[in-house]
Structure formats: C-alpha cells, structure tokens
Structure 1
Amino acid sequence: VAKYLSPCVCGFLIEKELAYLGEKTAHPERPFTVILGGAKVSDKIKVIDTLLDKADTIIIGGAMAYTFALAEGRQVGESLSEPDFIATAKSALEKAAKKGVKFLLPVDNLAVKDLDFGAGSVGESQFFEGQIKDGWEGVDIGPKSIELFKKEVAGAKTVLWNGPMGIFEIDACNKGTFAVAETIANSDGISIIGGGDSVKAIKMSGYSDRVTFMSTGGGASLEFLEGKELPGVSALDQN
C-alpha cells in the first residue's frame, strides 16, 4: 500500500506499540525490570541478549528457567528444558554478571508427578528448593520465588513482562503467574505486557485494567524488542 499511496501513516494502536515497546524500553524510567517466562530459551535468547544492554534486572520464570538451572549445574528432574541451549544460557548469565545486571532465577519450584494438561490435572505435587528430583516435573515457581520476584517488581519504575511463570491454564499451577500479575498491577511504575500468553494471563487474573499497556503484537512484539526491522513500519518510514 505504501508503495502506491502517499502519505501513509500507522494507526493509533501501532503508534502506542512503537512508543511503549520502543521508546519506553530504549530509554526507560529506572529501575527497569524485565520479566521473561514461557517454555523455550531458544524463543527468547535474542530478546534476552538485547535487553541485557538496557535492563537493570531480568527475572526468568516458566520452563525456560530450567535450562538456566542446568547452566548453573542444578538438577531439574523431568522438567521441560533445552540441553542444546545450556551454553547459550551460560553466556547470558556471564554477560549479565559483566554488565552488572541483576539476573534472577527461581529459588524454588512447584513440581508434579503426573501432568495431564488436557484434563487440567497434576496429580501428586511438591515444592523443591534449588534442585528438582528425578521423576518430578516443574510446573510453576514456588512461594519463595514469588516473594523474591514481587520485591524486585515492586521497586521498579518500568516493568516489561513477556511470558508466564508456569502452566497458568491449570488452577494448581497458576499462583506464580497470577502473583506476578498482581504485583505489576499494584506497581506505581510503567507496566508493559507483551506476548499472547502474558496478555491472556493478566486478563485471567483480573488485573488487565490496571496495567499501562498491553501489546497485541504477539511474535512481532518480540522481534521488535530484539531490534529487528518490521517490514510494515519500515515501509511507512520510507514513504
């Protein structure tokens, strides 16, 4: 369209996306805390690398935290992890240490014996500190991690959240995600929620009307945070 019509401009929604995911994270009010969750380190390692140059604190939850736990030499039982990305996780931890970025991982986890996602059941459950025993699968952050993360978020002036802390769709595994959502909602700082699961989670928690901005960009929002050029925006810039 931009090739054949001039002038072409973005709408108000795109304008807000660019403002909050761009300007508010490139030049944030500090302290700037980033919360990243979800299943895979491989999906977010580029975002982590980019945000290590911007954030004061990065909090990691969800299944991706188990790959970082392996990178620290801890056992994760049967928890979802990516052994091929252990070296990548180590590099991120090293970069954080060099740049003075606080990098927080869960200190305890809720783990289960029998997870049936379709039925929404988890069977026997137990909290583990530090390491998860063989035969157990991590499904959420534990109470000590919740308090640790809440304290960090409460003191932030800008919070960016992308990715849940556990399998929030199952009632027994949603406490970590919903606790983060509540803390963000009660924060006095700017709160930016990105990613479909995080938006869904904060809506389920009942706090969606108390955050500054919820992105509807999905995967494109991650690409933008990585610093990638978005074709649609680029076309408008050239118009």
Structure 2
Amino acid sequence: MVAGINLMQETKSIRDVEIEGKRVLIRVDFNVPMDSDFNISDDTRIREAIPTINHCIDNGAKSIVLVSHLGRPRGKSSEFSLKHILKRLERLLNRSVIFVESLEGVSSVMATLPQKSVILLENIRFLEGEEKNDEKLSKNLASLCDIYINDAFGASHRKHASTYGVAKFAPVKVAGLLLKKEIDSFAKALASPLKPVLLIVGGSKVSSKITLLSNILDVVDKIVIGGAMSNTFLKSLGYDMQRSLVEDPLVPEAAKILGLAKQKGVKIYLPVDVVCTDDIKNPKEIKITPAQDVPENFLAADIGPASVKLFSEVIRDCETIIWNGPMGVYEVQNFSRGTFQLAHVVADTYAYSVIGGGDTADAIDRAGEKDNMSFTSTGGGASLELLEGKILPAFEVLERK
C-alpha cells in the first residue's frame, strides 16, 4: 500500500511544467448533486477545481478546455447537461465561460477566442466512447491540447477516454492541484502517519470494504466498525441480528478478519449496543438494546449511546483518523445521532483526520463539521480503492518527476 502511494506521489503536477502560450485540457470532476430544479446542493467539487483553472489562467495558457461527466446518462439527456453548472462555475471563476456541445465545436471556437479563454465541453459521457476508453475519442481529446491535466480525483479510478486513454496521445500529461492534494493527504495518513492510526469504517455492505479491511491491517492500529456492515461481524460472533442487514456469505470472512487483526495486534471495536426499529421509513417502535439482544423482527439502524461512548474514547486516543462510511442510516433523523456524535468527537480532536467517501462527507457536512476535518476527499470509489492499496489508473498514465 505505502509503495503504491509513494509511486503516485511522484506524479508531475502543473507546477512542474510551463503553461504560458499552451493549449490546456483539464479533466475536472463537476459531478455535483442537484435537485429536480437543477439547483446545486453541494458545489464542493466545482470549488476544488478552481485553483487549477486559475493557475492556468494566471500563467498565460493560450486556451483552457474543461472536460467532465455528470451522472450516469445513457446517451444525451438534458437532465445531465453541464449547462446546469455553467452559471455556478462562472461565478466561482469570476469570468465568463464558453459552453460548447461537441468536440468539433471546441476546435472551431478555440480558433476565434482570445488568449486565456475558458471553454466547458458538454458532458463527456454523452459520447459513447468515453466509458469504453475508445482510442479515437482519446485521440480527439488529445488533439485539443498541448498539455493534458487530470484534476478529477473522483474519476481517477476509471479507465475512461478522458481520464486514461487521452494521456497516451497528449504531448504532456500531468496532475492538477486537486489530484496532488488528494494523494498527498492520503499519503500523510497512510504512508507517514502520526500514531496511533484509527480507521473508522461503516456503510451498508462488508462486500464493498472487505479488501480494504484485509489490506489496511498493516497500516492501522485500531479499527472501529459501525453501520450495517457491523451486523455481519456481530453475526460472526454468534449474535442473532434478526432482520438487520447481514451478508450471510461473508460471515466466515468477517470472522477471518477479526482473527487476522488479533494476530497482527490491531484492535477492532464493534458496537456494544444498537438503535433498532421495526421499520426504518415508518417506525412504530424504536429501541436501544445490547448488540446481542436485537428484539425479534427488529433491525439495527444506528449505533447506540454506549457504542458512541466507547468509540469516542478510541477516537480521542488516536493521532491519525481515516473515516469511510456512516455509522447508521444517517439520512433519517431517528438514526443519525451515532454518526453525527462521532463527527463532533473527531472534529474536537487534534488528530489528522481524512474523510473519504461521498456518504461520509455528506454526513459530516450535515453534522456541521465539514470545515473542522483536516481533509475531505472529493472521491468516493477512488478514495476506497486508494485505501485498498491500489494504484489508481489516472496516476498510472501521468508523467513522473
């Protein structure tokens, strides 16, 4: 894991190349959440791209083409058009941005625009070849630039034309400021951390984090497991979790991880009590019970107050904290307390805290603690794969120092 992170840290950034007079193509990540009226509810990913764009403007780039995806469209769809983020982008950049609907349009527009112009290309996933890493599309994207910059950490685990294939044909390919900040922040937590190191992991499924748990045992000193995935671990200890979400095929794997952690001297903490209910959406009854005594026909939906107290003591004892996954169904007020209380505890420590995963970042934001964490990653799947010890494809194809 550490070797992979160190390798990704060696990637060249835009600070290592001459920008002046060059055509620049930046793969950004403007995949932001919007409501049914296309109002952006969280513009963090757009804000995080601004320093890289401004660096290119300030250093005299001839032209700047921004490429991004939005959602998972099947062909062209007005619902997923990047037109919806144009005004917010212009306001954050404090300058006009030219919106272009096709690659051909970009070429013709570039020839007529003044230096330092910023062009936003329509959703790259409207093009069929994007997710197939089509070579022709990759070449066409590369033809628009002298320098290719990847600043889309949220898509850095994808081998798509705009994140991977284009680098094969671009004359110069480097990382943007956000991409560098992401990898440097994870390196601080994983490659050269202050100890003890704590991993807080939650969410709904063990299956999505089994590789993470197996690989990170050599890096961390303690692990707190909450959320629905803790049910599978509790069942491996012989507890009857009733209607709680349990991945039965992975119960033996959970037991194996508990045994492996013990061998390596890594302490794993599981919930000692849970908030359980007869129904998450329309509860008639909500009870706090010991983790081993979930009532018949009930299901666990959050960690209980004793678990919060236990986990809080663990958190306060650590110098580095990595958090991926909520402790319960935080979107429902009745079952949000465990996640929110731990967010307050992490925020009150002097530990270096790294928040990874979209749900975790959203939960921290709802708890009002977003600005009190050391670093919040913009990538969900990307941050998870990084924690699993993988070298992200986007970093593989960029130049090294």
TM-score per shorter chain, which class?
over 0.9
Which stretch has the larger CA shift, 126-135 or 149-158? 126-135
1:134-155 deviation per Cα after TM superposition (whole angstroms, max 9, x unaligned): 2111000000000000111112
**Pairwise mapping of residues 131-210 of structure 1 onto structure 2 (< 5 A)?**
131=292, 132-210=294-372
Aligned-pair Cα RMSD in Å: 1.3
Classify the secondary structure of the residue corresponding to 1:192: strand
- Equivalent position to 1:101, from 266, 270, 274: 266
- Identity between Structure 1 and Structure 2 (%): 40
Deviation at 1:57, TM superposition (A): 0.4
Please report how far the alpha carbon of residue 74 of structure 1 lies from its aligned counterpart in structure 2 after TM superposition.
Answer: 0.8
Alignment of 1:123 onto 2:288? no
Distance 2:331 2:172 in 1: 44
Flag structure 2 segments of 5+ consecutive residues without an equivalent.
1-165
Q: Matches of 1:238 and 1:191 in 2, distance apart?
A: 28
Asked whether the equivalents of residues 173 and 399 of structure 2 are also in contact (C-alpha less than 8 Å), the reply is no
Q: Which runs of 4+ in 1 moved over 6 A?
A: none
**Aligned with residue 2 of structure 1, among 153, 160, 167:** 167
Contact 1:75 1:133 in 2 (8 A): no
Structure 1 residue 158: Cα displacement: 0.4
Q: Which has the higher contact order (CA 8 A, sep 6+)?
A: 1
Alpha-carbon distance between aligned partners in 1 of 2:328 and 2:400, rounded to the nearest angstrom: 42
Larger-Rg structure: 2
Matches within 5 A, 1:82-93: 82-93=247-258
- 1:194 positional shift: 0.3
The alpha carbon displacement at 1:220 in A equals: 1.1
CA distance in 2, matches of 1:40, 1:196: 15
* Secondary structure of 1:8's aligned partner: strand
For this pair of structures, how many residues does the alignment match? Answer: 235
Following the alignment from structure 1 to structure 2, what is the Cα–Cα distance between the partners of residues 237 and 227? 21
Match of 1:60 in 2: 225
Whether 2:209 is the aligned partner of 1:44: answer: yes
Cα distance between partner residues in 2 of 1:9 and 1:23: 21
Measured in 2, the distance between the counterparts of 1:130 and 1:209 equals: 33
1:126-179 deviations in whole A, cap 9, x for unaligned?
111131122111000000000000111112110000000000011110010001
TM score, norm. by length of structure 1 = 0.95
Tell me the SS of whatever aligns to 2:224: strand
Distance in 1, matches of 2:310 and 2:175, equals 40
- Check conservation: 1:122, 1:172, Cα contact below 8 A: no
